Structure 1
């Protein structure tokens, strides 16, 4: 990687001003502390600055660009596995007229020195002070004073303390004298350094500092090592041997570095540079600095954090009874850490989130700010529309998301609660977190649990109870038999959380006299006593606010709200062609509420039933839509399994083939098709692929059944055609003695 850059090359990069002149001005101020970091470019008058003068952000950007350039030189298979930085090109920075940004100060060498080096520096300063005092008192030169000082040291005329300090001036490295004392030229050199560059110049050189000089092959090692697959040093070394190019050597043309050289370089590389690429997103952010926050000054329901959690256990489906996972949404008041009643569904969707928000408002009033992840279930027109028909505008609620997508730490209160829910779920036999559950026990409990649900659907309650006990013994935990049992267990966790001390809350003196942290319930009660009161909404206002509001146009005295269902009231006759707001209750299909665009209620419109159409609620329509999407996904999976397991084209098995008279074929052309059809020979089902679960096995069986049904249908059609032709020949009075049924040859039914 290059180490010297001109202002023109640095202008506009991250962390640098937008113009070369401002870059020069900024770096020139830093150069006052270190004059060795600039030079003139050979053959030109351009000034170059060393990379050590640049801010950390600029150095990081230059390093990333170097990795991209190196990756372009690697082979295609290797380049496909690399985690290259997806960073946009820098935009020129426009500095204000009065640019007073604080410059990064350069630390002095003494500040970076070790304890031993600083002790040697102090000893040398003391010795130089004695020599200068001797020269001043005797009126002689410093050389004569050094000679007298060394003579007294060797003759024993110096005190024990001064002699000990003189011996400590020697650095660990270098040649040692016989008596352990510095030589005359050494003392003179120290005096010259102090005179020319100051007392800090007496600091001994640090030979323990690694050599950070950039070699041409260093970016190659970083590129191959910083990958999400987390390769070992040995694999990086072996891959570099395969990809090696002569221009990467040092000097150019030198052979590839040894394994020990690669290992030593990676040991010198900073941990942050090694983690960038091996970890991404939240995993990388969890290892970097974060800004901690506190809730000082917040009142209850000023800020509410919400998040969803896909249960790490299986429980019965509310309708089918089969084991599935649930989606749980929980809402947390940041000031008190109180958790309101959670909403439970099967998938993350807007209905589940809004049910949880409704319970949050019903319990503690309308929050001032609601913070959630950047999910489409919230970021949609139904919730966050900037118009008057959005839920947030109707509630007077501000919804925020983390500034950076994927920054789960920004919603850490809710994320930590997810971790707590996972720990509580370990009391269940159907716990399925792959990091905390034995895989064999998980599969065994899963088979027993599926058998229990089948027995319950069949009405065999005795067998279902026996299988439940068996699953509890195998999984060493609780087993839910119904949807309601699982919901009751989840809601019981709310009370457990709200009545348990939380470390972010203040301490109070408990019943036993000890000081303990307050529980969320105690913190909420203390806020009520202090005068806080929620922004209450009546039940009618709450129901109306959470109805789906859509803009519809009045046509022929009615509005089509959803799913082709029309609603009418007499007031709509006066609003022909006008846009109105239609408020729809998700669980009510018989009527909707018609409003003006400013929110004023007009009337309640009743459903106009039409024969031949199925009347349904909005919730039913949404469930039907989701079910159709699930069916389409399953059909695509079945098609993929059919393609993977399709047998090769059927070969002709040499069955007996009979000819049809030519004159008959000329009279009836369709017989030519019959003559070409070959007899279908039943094929043996292919072996079952390894690693198939119950769903894949079911899909494979369904695919075979479909193929068999298709073959049977083709055989039936062929038999019907042959019978019809035979019947027509008999009716025509033709002899059937020379007619023989043709055998079926090669025919692709697939």
Structure 2
């Protein structure tokens, strides 16, 4: 009879001393603070035999005895042999060796009993063992069959008869020695010690034992007993409390999901990843860690969509999903987590309009989305390590500190740094990594024979995608206007005399003149601020409102140009008068002033500057000398103005000309140019 020590509420329901329902038993166990543990391979909670009422214990014992008797009466002879075989298979190597050694002597007695009596055969073997006359085969097995640690391992008549009786009663399993099993009972002091040991801070056994020894009032065990007790526990039971429920899953069995029966487009999965390197934010000019949202096809492991933002949000999720739909077509399921970027009405509305279904993973179950998590490590962590601004956990501490200090100093002094990439440079690196990933063999995909080497290898995601198309599958493409319309986020704004204020800008649409003071819905594109799409609250499209669509010049351009010329002539005249007062001499630049100083011939302007420097020094020419602004964007705008003048055929003075030629070679110019090119490319892509 095998007495079990743990029982679930379902097994206890209805027994004497127990309520009739499982829920009532669970409530009673919680009220009386019964000890409990999770049953292996199940979510059920089981309770120990010792905490149960006396009448319940008696009922359990009676049921176990009756069950064992019925099973013994109903079991046929062949089942006994089968159980023996199963028992033999569970023996240790040491038990099996002793059993086979004893079986050798049993077989020898049976062979000798065919000629002489059994008693004579046993006596002969015992005498031969004492005289050292056993065969080499039996002599090697005599010591092993005795299974003793003492020096005296000779055979005896009583021992041989006991082996014979055990073999005839239970077969060869009866010859196997019994081994003391580990005591799996829980000591009285165990709960008190585990309260000190099973903590999120993960204290060492010595520290937990020291705290336990100070508080425990009973018969305190030694630290060696504590270590032996911990060694008996399963990793899941031992580490409970030291790890969160999510981390504790690493010690539990799991179900491996197969994607062999999926076709491309059946399931798209997406997730956000905080990039492990710093990038220059084009909006603020300061370093930040972008949030990368990746959309992947599960069947082929192909990355289809990528979006970059400052944090996980619905807009970046929709842009990543739009890229995936444009490249790979429609999907049946969209498998995501419960993050704020996915679990919102905007994304769910887009998925519903596209005809798909959104499925959320269970909370604290990142293992279920291991495909996209692994892709993050393969693509984005590898991309981050290619950059100097990498700040991952395995980055050298001193090198990371040095990069951080130097880059911040360069940003303060020059407004730019080459140690931290711009967003456009980051996107270039990301594009290369994604392309390499999609063209690299993936071990989760089927094998093919390489056409170049002739060797078997796994397919790449792109090859798996094309293989599906060659087998007859074709992606279901969504209409471009539908995708573009769905992916634009919408907000409600109020019109005012044909204008709509949004994101610090004013947009005008003439058709809004009849909707003055009313609320409308506007759809906007985060990559294009030049226009918004205006709809009624019912969803009917009114039109596109353009930024500053009703703006015009405050005064006619010719009038402003004339005013600028007069202002320049006045400044030049006042400058000449200042030079004459300081020098006491008459200064003549040209016989007749024909326009502002910017229209003077280079020889005339140079002559005036040289003469002024000789008379009054540098102070006299500060009003008209060439000066480089201190702000980076102002310097870039100055260069653009000078470049336009050069393109029109105008000659610059020497200092301005030298600066105009040298400025395009500076890192500052290259960074600003990259930022504008990235903005233009994003607008065109959107």
2:473 matches 1:532: yes
2:338 matches 1:374: yes
CA contact (8 A) 1:323 1:449 kept: no
Deviation at 1:382, TM superposition (A): 1.9
Q: Secondary structure at the match of 2:370?
A: helix
In 1, Cα distance between equivalents of 2:319 and 2:175: 73
Deviation at 1:185, TM superposition (A): 2.2
Superposed CA offset, 1:26-65 (max 9, x none)? xxxxxxxxxxxxxxxxxxxxxxxxx99x8665897548x9
Structure 1 stretch displaced more, 261-270 or 302-311: 261-270
Relative distance call for 1:603 and 1:550 in structure 2 (3 A) is same
Relative distance call for 1:399 and 1:55 in structure 2 (3 A) is closer
Q: Secondary structure at the match of 1:110?
A: helix
The aligned residue for residue 394 of structure 1 is 353
The aligned residue for residue 428 of structure 1 is 387
Relative distance call for 1:181 and 1:449 in structure 2 (3 A) is same
Relative distance call for 1:562 and 1:456 in structure 2 (3 A) is closer
Structure 1 stretch displaced more, 581-590 or 445-454: 581-590
Q: Secondary structure at the match of 1:294?
A: coil
2:592 matches 1:592: no
The aligned residue for residue 202 of structure 1 is 175
Deviation at 1:265, TM superposition (A): 2.6
TM-score, structure 2 as length reference: 0.61
User: For 1:284-295, what aligned pairs fall within 5 Å after superposition?
Assistant: 284-295=248-259
2:542 to 604, 621, 643: 604
Relative distance call for 1:222 and 1:439 in structure 2 (3 A) is same
2:238 to 274, 286, 289: 274
2:364 matches 1:406: yes
CA contact (8 A) 2:525 2:532 kept: no
The aligned residue for residue 122 of structure 1 is 100
Deviation at 1:135, TM superposition (A): 5.1
The aligned residue for residue 244 of structure 1 is 216
2:136 matches 1:193: no
Relative distance call for 1:295 and 1:608 in structure 2 (3 A) is closer
CA contact (8 A) 1:594 1:605 kept: no
The aligned residue for residue 186 of structure 2 is 214
Relative distance call for 1:182 and 1:153 in structure 2 (3 A) is closer
Relative distance call for 1:161 and 1:493 in structure 2 (3 A) is closer
Deviation at 1:324, TM superposition (A): 0.7
1:542 to 477, 483, 493: 483
2:462 matches 1:521: yes
CA contact (8 A) 1:308 1:348 kept: yes
Relative distance call for 1:224 and 1:195 in structure 2 (3 A) is farther
In 2, Cα distance between equivalents of 1:447 and 1:422: 23
Q: Secondary structure at the match of 1:277?
A: coil
2:265 matches 1:301: yes
2:199 matches 1:227: yes
The aligned residue for residue 731 of structure 1 is none
Q: Secondary structure at the match of 2:304?
A: coil
2:169 matches 1:169: no
CA RMSD of aligned residues (A): 4.5
Task: Give ranges in structure 2 of 5+ residues lacking alignment.
Answer: 19-35, 52-82, 548-686
User: For 1:672-691, what aligned pairs fall within 5 Å after superposition?
Assistant: none
The aligned residue for residue 648 of structure 1 is none
Deviation at 1:309, TM superposition (A): 0.9
Superposed CA offset, 1:422-471 (max 9, x none)? 133112111111x21122322221122123333444xxxxxx4xx53xx4
Q: Number of paired residues? A: 489
1:111 to 54, 79, 89: 89
CA contact (8 A) 2:334 2:358 kept: yes
TM-score, structure 1 as length reference: 0.57
CA contact (8 A) 2:198 2:242 kept: yes
The aligned residue for residue 402 of structure 2 is 444
In 2, Cα distance between equivalents of 1:237 and 1:107: 45
CA contact (8 A) 1:369 1:397 kept: yes
In 2, Cα distance between equivalents of 1:58 and 1:182: 53
In 2, Cα distance between equivalents of 1:444 and 1:157: 83
User: For 1:566-645, what aligned pairs fall within 5 Å after superposition?
Assistant: 584-586=523-525, 591-594=533-536, 602-604=540-542
Q: Secondary structure at the match of 1:446?
A: helix
Q: Secondary structure at the match of 2:462?
A: helix
Deviation at 1:328, TM superposition (A): 0.5
The aligned residue for residue 11 of structure 1 is 9
Superposed CA offset, 1:211-258 (max 9, x none)? 434321123333332322221121122111111122xx3xxxxxx122
CA contact (8 A) 2:268 2:335 kept: yes
2:123 matches 1:147: yes
In 2, Cα distance between equivalents of 1:311 and 1:62: 47
In 2, Cα distance between equivalents of 1:183 and 1:382: 87
Relative distance call for 1:540 and 1:592 in structure 2 (3 A) is same
Deviation at 1:605, TM superposition (A): 6.6
In 1, Cα distance between equivalents of 2:403 and 2:179: 63
In 2, Cα distance between equivalents of 1:319 and 1:196: 87
The aligned residue for residue 46 of structure 1 is none
